[in-house]
Amino acid sequence: MHRRKLLQWGLGAFGAGLVPLAAARADDDIIGAILGGKHPTAPSVPQQPVLRPTPMEAPIPVETRWVHLHNIHTGEKLEAAYWENGDYVPDAVQALNKVLRDYRNDQVHPMDPGLYDILAKIQARTEAKSPFQVISGYRSPATNKMLANRSGEVAKHSLHMEGKAMDISRTWRWST
């Protein structure tokens, strides 16, 4: 028998565990009739309504997102699952923020987690296995001013100071 026919009788909800046990016994009779090639008759006892998830209510599988960083200034390496079950993982995000801190004065600042999403997309698209080499993550206002005075090529209001930018490099190694 086709799955579509089973779903017409509400058995998809049964398979998803949404039908109470009393209704499940009646559904056993319906399943038997359908599998036997018969058109099932309505049960004589009233049943509880069958709950059918709509496409909007059905859970959407969410993949875990990973990022692998190596801070070239501190030598720290971190590979972390920063996104699980449809949300950012606070401990992993905090650990990544620490790796991306201003290494000159050890100041940690929250980084925009969207940066991790961009890195995860790059990782997935390239299928590379090596970590991203972090040149610069968060930059404190004091560090930004010092760099601007030294080179003159640093923005006065750099996105690094807001945790919205990082400079990376990558050694590309693909798995075989």
pLDDT for residue 17 is more than 50: no
Domain holding 9, by residue range, is 1-60
62's tokens: 């969410």
The total of other beta-carbon atoms located within 10 Å of residue 130's CB is: 14
**One domain for residues 49 and 70:** no
pTM, entire model: 0.62
Which pLDDT score is estimated for 123?
85
109 in the same domain as 30: no
Percent of the chain with pLDDT over 90: 49
Are both 56 and 3 inside the same structural domain? yes
Confidence of residue 173 (pLDDT cuts 50, 70, 90): low
- Of 10-14, 25-29, 154-158, which range is least confident? 10-14
Q: Is residue 85 part of a domain?
A: yes
Rounded Cα–Cα distance for residues 69 and 174 (Å): 16
Provide the terminal-to-terminal Cα distance of the chain, rounded to the nearest Å: 43
Closest by CA position to 108, among listed 74, 154, 147, 67: 74
For residues 93-99, give the mean pLDDT: 97
**Token pair listed for 77:** 């390496």
Degrees, nearest 5: CA angle 123-84-162:
65
Arithmetic mean of pLDDT, 118-124: 89
Domains identified in the chain, total number: 2
- Does residue 40 register a pLDDT over 60? no
Say whether both 34 and 48 belong to one domain. Answer: yes
Under a CB-based contact definition with an 8 Å cutoff, are residues 167 and 159 in contact? no
Q: What's the token pair of residue 102?
A: 């201003």
Question: Strands 167-170 and 87-88: what pairing?
Answer: unpaired
Are 146 and 81 members of one domain? yes
Which of 14, 37, 60 marks a domain boundary?
Answer: 60
CA–CA gap between residue 1 and residue 81 (Å, rounded) = 42
Residue 175 lies in a domain: no
Confidence of residue 57 (pLDDT cuts 50, 70, 90): low
Query: Would you place residue 24 in the very low, low, confident or very high pLDDT band (cuts 50, 70, 90)?
Result: very low
55 has pLDDT over 80: no
Residues 136 and 87 in one domain: yes
Same domain, 53 and 86: no
Average pLDDT over residues 59-81: 90
96-101 long-range contacts, CB within 8 A, separation 24+:
96/67, 96/69, 97/138, 97/163, 99/69, 99/71, 99/74, 99/134, 99/137, 100/69, 100/71, 100/134, 100/137, 100/138, 100/163, 100/166, 101/137, 101/138
Q: Are residues 115 and 134 in the same domain?
A: yes
